[in-house]
Amino acid sequence: MQEFTFSTTGRIVFAAGASDRLGALAAELGVQHVGLVTDRTVRELNLTKSAEKSMHSAGLKVSVYDGTSPDPTEDMLEDALKQLAGCDGIVSIGGGSSLDIAKLVAVRLCSSQPLAQMYGVGNVTGARLPLILVPTTAGTGSEVTPISILTTRTQEKMGVVSEVLLPDIALLDPDLTLGLPRSVTAATGVDAMVHAIEAYTSKLKKNPVSDALAREALRLLGGNIKRVCSHPDDADARGAMLLGSCLAGQAFANAPVAAVHALAYPLGGQFHVPHGLSNCLVLPEVLAFNAPQASELYDELARILFEDGVTLADGFRALAPEIGLVTTLRDVGVGEHHLEGLARDAMKQTRLLVNNPREVTYADALEIYRAVF
């Protein structure tokens, strides 16, 4: 067996209503002044209400930054750092954007290392503040990944990848996902499925632990995504999706994602398409492109997700409209004249493309975009 390493979040707490425990958990980590990272919508929906009450009841001071939004930017991070200066611990409640910002806030508040030096794999040199991450979507798995993605001032997606970013605690509270709109539920659910699929076929770091997590993630996600889209208040289905997303996050944190994400990132950076939907759009055509090299593994996963005889690519082609997702680049405002630029930007994602089971050239990327257009 090939050697491998596997790292993940130190502790996972899963329970309906678990956000009520945040005050005690933060105090347990020695925090006295919490910096809460979230977004305005999450806060207006009162999804942080019980957590904030819990932290105040525990005698903790709480400062709030609620300025995150999809495709978080370097400017957002700088704003968060200014508002949360003086905090000695970070809690984030929200989608992947909030969690990604929170990871870097926790590092930057106790490190003088410039952000530009952190980009890439293993480049963070400092420590971080105590960190608790609480997802409100079942999609990114950011609560168990050592990755933070930002859109730079030149509109490129750049990643900071370091085990320093793994939080002390990932808190999974299915109640926080009950109010998600169908469009967000669908896109983030498929996003989590992409994480599991790409981890299972990752060229360089595929390993038995990630494989087991990816298979179980797909069982949970595939078995519940239609249910949560049609019955959004089904607490059991919501819990299964949230856990599935977490398991998929653990899988791809150790067996990294590949061409689906590489081709999705320019859609977010240039057109501000939400990350989950970006992945959904390019997924079927990337699967079809990879199939000659990954057919055996894809067949294994297709049997978990779809009826016998349905390929992975065809299964997702049929699933997207069934759960209410758009399926073409035209649907998100991309013009045919943009495709060459998208392909050029996708080829810059060398950190991801190296993991793909089949080599992707510029011509390949352009053809995939054309197929999705």
Q: What is the mean pLDDT of the chain?
A: 96
Contact 313, 280 (CB under 8 A): no
Q: What letter represents residue 288's amino acid?
A: A
pLDDT in tens, 306-349: 999 999 999 999 999 999 999 999 999 999 999 999 999 999 99
Q: Look at residue 5 and tell me if it is in a domain.
A: no
Q: What mean pLDDT do residues 145-160 have?
A: 90
Looking at the fold, whether 188 and 172 belong to one and the same domain comes out as no
The answer to whether position 19 is within a domain reads yes
pTM of the model: 0.94
Q: Which two tokens stand for residue 272?
A: 């501000």
- pLDDT tens figures, 224-263: 999 999 999 999 999 999 999 999 999 999 999 999 999 9
DSSP, collapsed to helix, strand or coil, labels residue 11 as strand
Other Cβ atoms within 10 Å of 173 Cβ, number: 26
Per-residue model confidence (pLDDT) at position 346: 97
- What pLDDT, on the 0 to 100 scale, is given for residue 37? 98
Same domain, 274 and 292: yes
Co-location of 103 and 210 in the same domain: no
pLDDT computed for residue 336 by the predictor: 96
Q: Could you tell me if 78 and 132 lie in one domain? A: yes
Kindly state whether residue 118 falls inside one of the protein's structural domains: yes
CA dist., res. 272 & res. 151, Å (int): 10
Examine the domain organization and report whether 195 and 330 are in the same domain: yes
Question: Cα-flanking dihedrals φ and ψ of residue 86, to 5°?
Answer: 95, -15
- Say whether pLDDT at 179 is over 90: no
DSSP track, 94-160: ESHHHHHHHHHHHHHTT----HHHH-EES---S----EEEEESSSS--GGG-SEEEEE-TTS-EEEE
The boundaries of the domain holding residue 51 are: 11-176
**Residue/partner pairs of 361-367 with CB below 8 Å, 24 or more apart:** 364/289, 365/262, 365/263, 366/339, 366/340
pLDDT tens, residue by residue, 193-232? 999 999 999 999 999 999 999 999 999 999 999 999 999 9
The tokens describing 230, both together, are 């049609």
Residue 39 domain flag: yes
Of 153, 176, 199, the position where a domain reaches its end is 176
Confidence at residue 92, expressed as pLDDT on a 0 to 100 scale: 98
Q: What is the pLDDT of residues 97-133, one digit of tens each?
A: 999 999 999 999 999 999 999 999 999 998 999 999 9
Assess whether 67 and 206 both reside in one domain. no
| 143 & 241 share domain | no
Taking only the tens place, the pLDDT of each residue in 1-60 is: 789 999 999 999 999 999 999 999 999 999 999 999 999 999 999 999 999 999 999 999
Sorted by sequence, the CB contacts under 8 Å of residue 16 that are 6+ apart come out as: 173, 174, 175, 235, 239
Per the structure, how many domains does the chain have? Answer: 2
pLDDT at residue 154 is higher than 90? no
Q: What's the rounded Cα separation, in Å, for the pair 79 and 7? A: 30
- Among 176, 206, 227, the domain boundary falls at 176
